[in-house]
Amino acid sequence: MKKDYVKRFIKVILSLAVYSLGNAFCVLAGDAGCNAWNTLTIGMSEFFGVRFGIANVCISAVIIILDIILKGKISFGTILNTLLIPIYSDILIALLVLINVKTTVC
C-alpha cells in the first residue's frame, strides 16, 4: 500500500514539472496565447512587477482561501499544485532564458 502512494507521489511531481514546462514555453512565447489561468498570472505578474511564480502562488492562495471559506475539498494534490507549479515554472523560465531558447509564433 505504501509503495502505491510513493508511485503516485512521483507521478504527481513529474506531471507538475511537465505542466510547468508548458507554462514556461507559454510565458516565453508571449503572442502564442495561453490558457486562462496563465493569462491571468502573466497579467498579474506584469501589473505588480513580480515573477510569474510569485503571481501564481498569490492567485492560488486566494483560490484556496475562497475554497476553505466555501467549504470546498482541498487535497494534498491541490497543495502540491499551489506550491510546485510556481517554483518549477520560475526555474524553467530562467533555464530557458539562460540557454537562450527562442520561441517564435508561426
Whole-model pTM: value is: 0.79
Tell me the pLDDT band of 106, cut-offs 50, 70 and 90: very low
Model confidence pLDDT, tens digit, residues 16-54: 999 999 888 888 887 667 788 888 888 899 899 999 899
Tell me the residue type at 87: I
d(CA 98, CA 106) in angstroms, rounded, equals 23
- The H-assigned helical ranges of 1-106 are 2-29, 36-48, 52-69, 76-98
Length of the chain: 106
Question: Are residues 23 and 59 in contact, defined by beta-carbon separation less than 8 angstroms?
Answer: no
